[in-house]
Chain A
């Protein structure tokens, strides 16, 4: 465990880092493949809607000898799919199935009449409408649209609109892949599934907000300096929150996984497995996108800004001055105006070196109370900047 803790520390200081932003093309490809699979699956296999959405057929048996279990078995011998059995009043059992052809309808009716020794007339049949009607879906969709508009406004105010946009892209990414993988598994869509999807909506955004909060912290006042590119700062933020992301995902997936196991293996039917499957896929994809997709998309947006491109040039120039031979080709490429992608590897590969030196500088400075940052708000930025400056001074 101590090793894990140390890895956390090294991630935090940037000594160890995975270059999420630099390798973004790889992860974009991974996501595109997942999305392609999802879209194909949605188009080919589609989502099978349960009787709550489509309606179906209903049988009522008025026989004192009938039990819920025996009716269920009798019906399931004739037709497959979801069967909802319920006792109504004292002696009537109601069974609801998916929509049946008139032949099937008659077959089930006869089977029930024979099984419980009543005349066919005493087994009534009728078509039932969806209990989750179109109006529920329509209103839920309307609510979703309002929510998304509201959340874009909130994120734009709390962060900035580019972060809001990146978060939205990640959200759509999560929902699409979750729906696709769900259709691939082939479970029926029940109200529990929809509830699972809606939970993911909140969870995916929640996860992205946590990562972006760190990004904002790391990038405050960034454009004034020449220490780190925007992409570099984003990458550091992702690495710093990586341990949190992993822990949170594991912690969220443990109860979901347990319920999924119970739903699929122990019960085999019912809403538990639908809900848990949607949640399991969604939480996993949400965690993945908050680490690999949302920050990369954000960095892509931001690196197009002139201020950030200028920053990238300054950083490149500075690193060129620092005269690591490997730095110069990158610098020249940057000077030539090659956009972010290519130089990121170098920019971020450089970062580990920096804080190490900085740490010692800061350590030397630490005992002096005056050196402590005055306010905590833009701290890491100032602190790191401060460290760097002191480190830089020492170097010079």
Chain B
């Protein structure tokens, strides 16, 4: 602690006042002016947001889709789905949502009546697959199965290389099928339908392209059967969502087989090879600002993927093979729940295990997708039921009783410390008040910033935590009194006592904070909410002790009432049993000399 804090307690207190003012200002800025249709009054903006048990929320029932004639939904898959959905819900903030099973269904309940969009995101299956593009075309149904003549005419401008190069990689199939002909079409179309896609694969550590001859079976154009050709021709991408719904039928989207599908905006359709890299190969996913080649943000958002060790190798192999290819075969599609999100060209061999998905994402979309991908795909596909509002499970009287009881309890704390510590008890009271004000402001702010919501247990926990905060004052006061008992004057004792109390307080608070951090990072659901509260109150404890209690005591020690050890100050040397001579044997003239020594002692 820097000496100025000790010598200028007034300034420290002013800093704290400014910080608290800023905190409450931030709450005002962070709070929306309206929630849904309801305008928020000033009071409501400063209200902490309450949890599912106290405020109610929104609930949706997900019914797993079953294949025809398949048996009951396996319990394991259901539990796994619950766990994944819970992780996803948690990644949206510290709201203590509830995910549970009801019969064969999954029920998701989130607090608050306006956050319905979260429900759409978390129930996404999020099956991510990387498939090689075998063939692409405009997203409309073509009446004839092969469209080569018209295709050829439509592409004079954009096809950069002759479409003759489609030498199928070393797959065992005898000859390219007739479909090679219409490869020119997609090239042209791709040039304007997904221009950004090709730029995204640049974070590459390009190694020398060594085309491997060991392409897995089913890749390359050899895999395009007449049936696929037929399906491709008939596919109509004007309503991509309908295509997705159809593809989500269990057993329909088989990773081991080629897939005919659309891209998300329906502009393009593809025949895709079997999946070569899967969602399970993804280690983490983050939403980032899109960068162009120069590393300048373009204003768009992308999702960056980091593969696991296995995924890194697979992805490296795929890009190595595709890099050697030309035309459509040079592209791979990133398929999410059946539809292609983007289908970039491979212009480098990517061996660092990183890939970027660029669609036309907004920040929220990119964040949602990253959150969903991070925790893997659901083992089942669900049909969402109606979204319903649910009421609070606990009546308002529970919250009222808890708050009133807590307030009475804290009042007793103040009373006790007044009785025991006399004048210093007032410091306790003021410190508790400041801790309460900061806690309230933080809870309100984090409610708007992080979606932090208080359950009843959380409210009680906060009150108790504020009480436990008082321990820091007790540790400090007892140290001061010990120093006075050792015969120091109060002004010295306040500083030397602080130097020692500070270490104890920091060590003990570190233990609490460490507990909070580990529990927060490694657990889910209610435990996570608790850990958040614990960490928050621990930090507030440190702020209050350092920026309020200590400077206040320093200031008070300069007053006659405390400094001279008035019997009611709680620091009377007589009453503390200090040797009598403390005040009498030391000539008053010595005091300044002692006082100048303080900072050195205290900061050592």
* A-to-B contact residues, CB < 8 Å: 1-2, 4-6, 8-10, 12-13, 55, 58, 68, 84-89, 92, 94, 126-136, 139-140, 142-144, 146-147, 150-151, 154, 158, 191-192, 194-195, 198-199, 201-203, 205-206, 209-210, 213-214, 217, 240-241, 243-244, 247-248, 250-252, 254-259, 261-263, 266-267, 270-272, 275-276, 279, 359, 362-363, 366-367, 375-377, 379, 383
Closest Cβ–Cβ distance, residue B426 to chain A (whole Å): 15
- Partner-contacting stretch, out of B193-201, B293-301, B359-367, B518-526: B518-526
Closest Cβ–Cβ distance, residue A241 to chain B (whole Å): 8
18 contacts between A and B (CB under 8 A): A1-B419, A5-B572, A85-B393, A131-B100, A133-B82, A136-B86, A143-B521, A146-B518, A201-B515, A244-B474, A248-B474, A251-B416, A258-B406, A259-B402, A272-B460, A362-B487, A363-B579, A376-B499
Q: How far is the CA of A28 from the CA of B392 in the complex (A)?
A: 47
Closest Cβ–Cβ distance, residue B588 to chain A (whole Å): 14
Q: Which residue of A lies closest to B53 (CB)?
A: A271
CB-CB under 8 A for A209 and B401, given A255-B410, A258-B406, A375-B604: no
- With most chain A CB atoms within 10 A of its CB, the pick from B394, B471, B567 is B471
- With most chain B CB atoms within 10 A of its CB, the pick from A6, A263, A272 is A272
Closest Cβ–Cβ distance, residue A9 to chain B (whole Å): 3
Contact B576 A147 (CB under 8 A): no
Closest Cβ–Cβ distance, residue B497 to chain A (whole Å): 10
Contact B406 A213 (CB under 8 A): no
Contact A88 B59 (CB under 8 A): yes
CB-CB under 8 A for A199 and B460, given A84-B393, A88-B389, A142-B522: no
Contact B526 A262 (CB under 8 A): no
Contact B471 A261 (CB under 8 A): no
Contact A143 B457 (CB under 8 A): no
CB-CB under 8 A for A256 and B527, given A154-B510, A251-B474, A363-B579: no
* B508 close to A (CB within 8 Å): yes
Q: How far is the CA of A136 from the CA of B530 in the complex (A)?
A: 13
Interface string of B394-414 (1 = CB under 8 A from A): 100110011011101110110
Contact B478 A154 (CB under 8 A): no
Contact B456 A271 (CB under 8 A): yes
Contact B389 A89 (CB under 8 A): yes
Q: Which of A5, A198, A379 touches B576 (beta carbons < 8 Å)?
A: A5
* B417 close to A (CB within 8 Å): yes
Q: How far is the CA of A195 from the CA of B519 in the complex (A)?
A: 11
Q: Which of B101, B391, B511, B526 touches A129 (beta carbons < 8 Å)?
A: B101
Interface of A is mostly: helix
Instruction: Give every chain B residue within 8 A of A132 (Cβ-Cβ).
Output: 525-526
* B39 close to A (CB within 8 Å): no
Instruction: Give every chain A residue within 8 A of B521 (Cβ-Cβ).
Output: 143
Instruction: Give every chain B residue within 8 A of A128 (Cβ-Cβ).
Output: 100-103, 107
Instruction: Give every chain B residue within 8 A of A262 (Cβ-Cβ).
Output: 401-402, 404-405
Contact A270 B398 (CB under 8 A): yes
Closest Cβ–Cβ distance, residue B526 to chain A (whole Å): 5
Contact B413 A87 (CB under 8 A): no
Q: How far is the CA of A214 from the CA of B100 in the complex (A)?
A: 48
Q: How far is the CA of A241 from the CA of B390 in the complex (A)?
A: 51
Contact B409 A254 (CB under 8 A): yes
* B500 close to A (CB within 8 Å): yes
- Partner-contacting stretch, out of B160-168, B318-326, B462-470: B462-470
State which residues 190-244 of B face A: CB under 8 Å: none
Contact B487 A363 (CB under 8 A): yes
**In the complex, given contacts A9-B481, A202-B534, A247-B420, what are 16 additional A-B residue pairs having Cβ atoms less than 8 angstroms apart?**
A4-B420, A10-B577, A86-B391, A88-B388, A128-B100, A147-B514, A199-B534, A210-B504, A240-B482, A241-B478, A247-B474, A254-B412, A258-B405, A263-B402, A267-B398, A366-B487
* B575 close to A (CB within 8 Å): yes
Closest Cβ–Cβ distance, residue A264 to chain B (whole Å): 11
Interface string of B494-511 (1 = CB under 8 A from A): 001001100110011111
Contact B511 A139 (CB under 8 A): no
State which residues 348-403 of B face A: CB under 8 Å: 386, 388-394, 397-398, 401-402
Contact B515 A147 (CB under 8 A): yes
State which residues 550-586 of B face A: CB under 8 Å: 567, 572, 574-579, 581, 585-586
* B152 close to A (CB within 8 Å): no
Contact A8 B576 (CB under 8 A): yes
Closest Cβ–Cβ distance, residue B575 to chain A (whole Å): 4
Contact A139 B526 (CB under 8 A): no
- With most chain B CB atoms within 10 A of its CB, the pick from A131, A146, A203 is A131
Q: How far is the CA of A203 from the CA of B466 in the complex (A)?
A: 13
Q: How far is the CA of A132 from the CA of B391 in the complex (A)?
A: 19
CB-CB under 8 A for A256 and B467, given A1-B419, A251-B416, A376-B602: yes
Contact B523 A367 (CB under 8 A): no
Q: Which residue of B lies closest to A245 (CB)?
A: B474
Q: How far is the CA of A262 from the CA of B531 in the complex (A)?
A: 25
Contact B523 A279 (CB under 8 A): no
Contact A195 B457 (CB under 8 A): yes
Contact B456 A272 (CB under 8 A): yes
Q: How far is the CA of A282 from the CA of B519 in the complex (A)?
A: 19
Q: Which residue of A lies closest to B408 (CB)?
A: A258
Interface string of B441-472 (1 = CB under 8 A from A): 00000000000000111001101101110110
CB-CB under 8 A for A86 and B464, given A5-B576, A135-B524, A240-B482: no
Closest Cβ–Cβ distance, residue B516 to chain A (whole Å): 7
* B56 close to A (CB within 8 Å): yes
Q: Which residue of B lies closest to A167 (CB)?
A: B511
Q: Which residue of A lies closest to B597 (CB)?
A: A372
Q: Which residue of A lies closest to B78 (CB)?
A: A129
Contact B102 A126 (CB under 8 A): yes
Closest Cβ–Cβ distance, residue B556 to chain A (whole Å): 18
* B7 close to A (CB within 8 Å): no
Closest Cβ–Cβ distance, residue A339 to chain B (whole Å): 31
Contact A195 B530 (CB under 8 A): yes
Q: How far is the CA of A247 from the CA of B468 in the complex (A)?
A: 11
Closest Cβ–Cβ distance, residue A142 to chain B (whole Å): 6
Instruction: Give every chain A residue within 8 A of B512 (Cβ-Cβ).
Output: 202, 205-206
Instruction: Give every chain B residue within 8 A of A276 (Cβ-Cβ).
Output: 460
Contact B481 A8 (CB under 8 A): yes
Q: Which residue of A lies closest to B487 (CB)?
A: A366
Q: Which residue of B lies closest to A134 (CB)?
A: B79
Contact A252 B464 (CB under 8 A): yes
Closest Cβ–Cβ distance, residue B275 to chain A (whole Å): 27
Contact A376 B102 (CB under 8 A): no
Q: Which residue of A lies closest to B468 (CB)?
A: A252
Instruction: Give every chain A residue within 8 A of B83 (Cβ-Cβ).
Output: 133, 135
Q: How far is the CA of A291 from the CA of B432 in the complex (A)?
A: 26
Instruction: Give every chain A residue within 8 A of B181 (Cβ-Cβ).
Output: none
Instruction: Give every chain B residue within 8 A of A150 (Cβ-Cβ).
Output: 514, 518
* B99 close to A (CB within 8 Å): yes
Instruction: Give every chain B residue within 8 A of A375 (Cβ-Cβ).
Output: 601, 604
Closest Cβ–Cβ distance, residue B6 to chain A (whole Å): 14
Contact B86 A135 (CB under 8 A): yes
Q: Which of B402, B471, B515, B604 touches A251 (beta carbons < 8 Å)?
A: B471
Instruction: Give every chain B residue within 8 A of A89 (Cβ-Cβ).
Output: 386, 388-389
Instruction: Give every chain A residue within 8 A of B576 (Cβ-Cβ).
Output: 5-6, 8-9
Q: How far is the CA of A134 from the CA of B419 in the complex (A)?
A: 48
Instruction: Give every chain A residue within 8 A of B141 (Cβ-Cβ).
Output: none
* B158 close to A (CB within 8 Å): no
Instruction: Give every chain A residue within 8 A of B519 (Cβ-Cβ).
Output: 140, 143-144, 147, 198
Instruction: Give every chain A residue within 8 A of B530 (Cβ-Cβ).
Output: 195, 198-199
